[in-house]
Amino acid sequence: MDEKESVFALITKVSPSPSSNVEADEVDEDYKKREGEEEEDEDEESEEKTRERYKSKYTGSIHPSAFPTFGVNDRRLAATFGKARNALEPDPKSFLQRSSSVKLNAAERARRPMIETIKDSAREKARIKAPIPSDRGQLRERVVIDRVKKNALDVIFTEGNPQVTKTGDARLFEEYNRKTRGKVPKYLQEIKKNIAHDNRVVTAPLARDKELLTEEENGEEAVLRQQWLYLNAIYQKLPFVIDTPSKKARKEECERQLDAIERRLVLSH
């Protein structure tokens, strides 16, 4: 059942009098007005949904230099992080070749980053060694040389020393016929005698002291040997079983004295 029919049913039930028809007409008009308002609201909502979104006439890719700066256009743009827009694009018509003497103007120098020039200059300075040659050098052929045969041929074909004749220099014959040839000169013999005399003078008192020391050492060695024999005899007579502190102390004392005597005997030699 519709809403309109339900309203009419209620009206007819409540007021079946003739005046109820007039009221019913008024209710019907109110209902129609209300329906018309609802339809208008629905049309407005549909229009809002189908309406296009707002689009600005300015795109977001415009460079900041194009915006108005209130008469301060001659100032330099503020530096920002990252790569600048449309500032370092290479120009294919103007480029700088390697080892060329062409100088760049201000605009071209601004397009070219300074880091590349720094890197190139540093790389050129770092080239200390000469470049590696592309072609390998020609190697010499290996030749086997018989050194023994070569030496023999050199000896055979070389001219000998000239023979000494009587027509030569007379002084050479005198030198060959000297009586002192092959003997030690007299001045060297005197020097050797002086050195030997000085050595005897210096070493004579030391030799006497050494004789005295040897006598004392021999006497000390004899005493040490007697002490060692005496202590060794006592050590050999100790019992096999060491079960008391006194026996243990006696054995350790004998071993200590024997070790000390043996060390002194070794040092004396």
Does some domain include residue 197? yes
- Judge whether 261 lies within some domain: yes
Statement: residue 194 has pLDDT above 90: yes
62 part of a folded domain: no
**First vs last Cα of the chain: how many Å apart?**
143
Span 80-113, pLDDT tens digits = 666 666 555 666 776 766 766 556 676 776 666 5
User: Residue 266's pLDDT is what?
Assistant: 84
The per-residue pLDDT of the chain, averaged, comes to 72
Q: Residue 235's pLDDT is what? A: 92
Q: Which amino acid is at 83?
A: K
Q: What is the pLDDT of residue 75?
A: 55
Choice between 160 and 114, residue whose per-residue pLDDT is larger: 160
pLDDT at residue 229 in the model? 92
Per the domain annotation, does 48 fall within a domain? no
Decide if 203 is inside a domain.
yes
Per DSSP, 83 falls in state: P
Residue 263 belongs to some domain of the structure: yes
Q: Is the pLDDT of residue 167 over 80?
A: no
The count of C-alpha atoms lying within 13 angstroms of the C-alpha of 110, restricted to the half-sphere facing its C-beta, is 6
> Which of helix, strand or coil describes residue 206?
helix
Q: Is 260 exposed, middle or buried (0-12, 13-18, 19+ CB in 10 A)?
A: middle
Structural domain contains residue 137: no
Q: Answer whether residue 149 shows pLDDT above 70.
A: yes
Average pLDDT of the residues in 52-74: 66
Full-model pTM: 0.24
Residue 169, pLDDT > 60, answer no
Could you count the other beta carbons within 10 Å of the beta carbon of residue 112? 16
Q: Helices 186-236 and 245-268 meet at what angle, rounded to 10?
A: 170
195-220, pLDDT tens digit by residue? 999 988 888 777 776 666 677 777 78
- Of the chain, the percentage scoring pLDDT greater than 70 comes to 50
Domain span at residue 24?
A: 1-34
The total number of structural domains in the chain stands at 2
Residue 214 lies in a domain: yes
